[in-house]
Structure 1
Amino acid sequence: MFKYVYSLVFCIILGISPSFSQHTEEHAAATTAGHEEEKFDIGGMIMHHIADEHGWEFTHGVKLPLPIILYTADRGIEVFSSSRLDHGQVYNDYKNEHEHIVRVNADGTVNEAIHPMDFSITKNVATLMLGALLLILIFTSVSKGYVQNKGKAPKGIQSFLEPLIVYMRDEVVKPSIGKNYGKYFPYLLTLFFFIFINNLLGLLPGGANLTGNIAITLVLALITFLITNLSANKYYWKHILLPNTPKWMWVIMIPVEVVGVLMKPLSLMIRLFANITAGHIIMLSLFGLIFIFKSWAVAPAIGVFALFMSAIELLVAFLQAFIFTLLTSMYIGSAIEEHHAEEHH
């Protein structure tokens, strides 16, 4: 089914804004002479929303508890709801300190001798599962459509996705890899639609910043790195380890080529992480301006600009998936490319 792994899409376009849960604490009180407004912490608000967390907060006061799964040598595996640790509560001697679960002593201090291993279902993990479920449901349907409509015009979701599948095959993967593209096509389609769907899910109200999490982009880049270099032929490695230059230059060229091999996945990782995270930061900053100015008079102008930025974010969601897949195709193509004719001279 994943051979045709493809896109979610424009049925969720209506939710084009990232999640905002404006903290109403900016109006908190607290001085001896009277009540004074607390300064709005826009940096804290932004970091709160782009970071992972043990619960899934859709808006202020609306939070979906997620399972916390911990392992310690003295207690083994423990499972309980993340709501047990909300608002700094202590449960079973555990406390959530800035999304890091720690064991505490009776006096409330952190027990430095015990370091729980955290296997919890966090917001990003739950989004990862949701994205995988959507991929399975959508492309199982597409796969059945190909079987049932064999020799006929595509129908339903198949007709919506087929032009994009054909475009990725004929305009991206095949030109980049060549005649052996079929071996890598299922992975590249899966890669494209995994990134694309999760980019779109991140734009929904309450959505998680999954593809803006550097751990996720690191794993995607690592998979590309392994496939590229494990598939590479002898000409690829000869170009890197025995470059076609005078031998006295090898001391310079070989380290440069090796660094180039490592920089390719690094650039994939940082590009996706930085662009998606930057988009969320811009949107959250725009809405934070309303609370910085402490006036709803600026809201209409900010709303119009935010709507424009949301449209840009939809484009970025597609472009980042496309660029990641295109570059991966090019890296694989260069690794399996046959001996150049000019090298015979």
Structure 2
Amino acid sequence: MGSKFMKSLLVAVFSVFSFGVAMAEEGHEPAQHEAGATHEEKLDPGKIIIEHVTDAHDFHFMDIGGKAISIPLPVILYSEGKWHMFSSGNFHHGHEAHDGFFLVNDHYIQQMKAEGVDVSGLKNQQIIAVDAEGKPNASVQVYDFSMTKNVVQMLLASILLIVLMSSIAKKYAKNGPNKAPSGFQNAVEPVITFVRDEVAKPNLHGKYQRYLPFLLTVFFFILINNLFGLIPGSANVTGNLALTAVLALISFIVILFSTNKHFWGHVFWFPGVPVPVKLIMLPVELMGIFTKPFALMIRLFANMVAGHVIILSFIILIFIFGAMSKSLGYGTSPIFVGLAVFIYAIEVLVAFIQAFIFTNLTAVFIGQAFEHGDHHEGGHH
């Protein structure tokens, strides 16, 4: 009961703090760049949500008294034959240039537009070279190898995965089957058994042991990153399309290396089908090879982003109603916070489900890559 209360309290505090950070940034930037402005900037829910689900060069938690509470990350740039390494804190959240470089934000883009500067190639959180006046210097090419929060969190998750699984493997090597598992080993063993019995064996049959290490690595890597993304102030790594694309690409390569001549025979010249139909099926079958990893990429990305967007949307509704009437804002806040807590609890379940779905679909696609050969050799069609 106590853990449920703490979880509810955690998400409520996180939600309010997250919106507070966004509101502080919304009100802070104009004060920095437009001294003397008296108008109050309107609430932009879409902008706030996008800022919270995209990558950044620091872990930004909140603003207190106009001072940002954040963890700056290393900036690593290569430009004009030189390496530049410094802390992202030197940008002061996109308010100042450093060493001839600037961290682009929405206000900077708007300011450059107002001055008639072409900003078609600029995007939020991009590091660019600027001239002495602070305007984009298109003649200088910048290669960004910075450690963003997505990269840092992914590395931390990878290290955690290696450490935990190595310690469990050492226990198995030391004790063998003679001693019952204990501690974290006892919690992980049912999950490993589940992936083996419910994912690998049904889809890969006699070849499941060959692919089980890969499937377990994919499952636990996605699961750990999904759970990390639910920690207040962390990054939603699996909600980044680049990461899900790389995971899908790795699965795609494994699938291709698992194919045999029977698989390609069914793709290019489906047996037992009239020639006119074969010509129609050929582009469909070829497209199907690429739609499988594409489906893996989009499914994981969309599901992990959706939960964060819904939680932020509920919290933003409090301030939208509060802008109409303070009493309405206070009156509806328990409802929307309760809904946010409910979605947060579902997101914990979704973290496990999406890791399972990605792993299971990967096993299904691998099984389809070589099952035609097995059926042919066994005399089955």
TM-score scaled to structure 2, two decimals?
A: 0.82
What SS does the corresponding residue of 1:71 show, helix, strand or coil? strand
**In structure 2, C-alpha distance between the alignment counterparts of 1:292 and 1:114, rounded to whole Å:** 43
Q: Which of 272, 284, 292 lines up with 1:264 in the alignment?
A: 292
Alignment partners' CA distance in 1, 2:248 and 2:27: 43
1:36-115 equivalence runs, <5 A: 37-60=40-63, 61-74=68-81, 76-86=82-92, 87-97=94-104, 98-115=124-141
Opposite residue 182 of structure 1, the aligned amino acid is Q
Aligned residue for 1:235? Answer: 262
* Structure in which a larger fraction of residues adopt helix: 2
In structure 2, relative to structure 1, the CA distance for the partners of 1:326 and 1:249 (3 Å cut) is same
Deviation of the 1:248 alpha carbon = 2.5
Contact 1:16–1:314 (CA under 8 A) maintained in structure 2: no
- Paired residue for 2:221? 194
Residue 59 of structure 1, CA deviation: 2.9
State the one-letter code of the partner of 1:223: I
Residue in structure 1 matched with residue 151 of structure 2 by the alignment: 125
Secondary structure of the residue aligned to 2:237 is coil
Residue type of the partner of 2:173? V
**Alpha-carbon distance in 2 for matches of 1:58, 1:130:** 19
Give, in whole Å, the separation in 2 of the partners of 1:174 and 1:58.
44
2:200 maps to what in 1? 173
Superposed CA deviations along residues 19-48 of structure 1, whole A, max 9, x for unmatched, are: 625233467899xxx966432221111111
Asked if structure 1 preserves the Cα contact closer than 8 Å seen for 2:19 and 2:315, the reply is: no
Task: Give the TM-score normalised by the residue count of structure 1.
Answer: 0.90
2:62 and 2:284 map into 1 onto residues whose CA distance is 49
Residues 124 and 208, structure 1, Cα contact 8 Å, conserved in 2: yes
1:267-286 map, 5 Å: 267-286=295-314
Quote the RMSD (CA, aligned, Å): 2.5
Matched, 1:336 2:343: no
- Equivalences for 1:151-162 in 2 at 5 Å? 151-162=178-189
Q: Deviations over 1:94-153 (max 9, x none)?
A: 001121111111122111011200000001001111101110121122112212221211
Higher relative contact order (Cα pairs below 8 Å, separated by 6+ residues): 1
| Residue 317 (structure 2) aligns with | 289
Inter-CA distance 207–176: structure 2 relative to 1 (3 Å threshold): same
In the TM superposition, residue 247 of structure 1 has moved relative to its aligned partner by 2.0
Match of 2:361 in 1: 327
Tell me if 1:216 matches 2:250.
no
Letter of the structure 2 residue corresponding to residue 311 of structure 1: A
Query: Once the two structures are superposed, what CA deviation does each residue of 1:179-202 show, in whole Å capped at 9, x if it has no partner?
Result: 111111111101011111111111
Q: Distance in 1 between matches of 2:175 and 2:188?
A: 14
Structure 1: runs of 5 or more not aligned: 1-9
The answer to whether the Cα contact below 8 Å between 1:21 and 1:58 also exists between their aligned partners in 2 is: no
- In structure 2, how many angstroms separate the alpha carbons of the residues matched to 1:183 and 1:287? 47
1:241 and 1:310, CA in 2 relative to 1: closer, same or farther beyond 3 A? Answer: same
What amino acid is the match of 2:221? F
CA-to-aligned-CA distance 1:213-253 (integer Å, 9 cap, x gap): 00000000000111001121111111111211122322211
Q: What's the CA shift for 1:287?
A: 0.9
The 1-side partners of 2:379 and 2:232 are apart by 55
Residue 90 of structure 1: SS of its match in structure 2? coil
Structure 2 unaligned spans of 5+: 32-36, 105-123, 323-328
Cα distance, 1:27–1:106 mapped onto 2, change above 3 Å: closer
What residue identity is the alignment partner of 2:129?
Answer: R
In structure 2, C-alpha distance between the alignment counterparts of 1:266 and 1:304, rounded to whole Å: 35
1:94, 1:104 within 8 Å by CA — same for their partners in 2?
A: yes
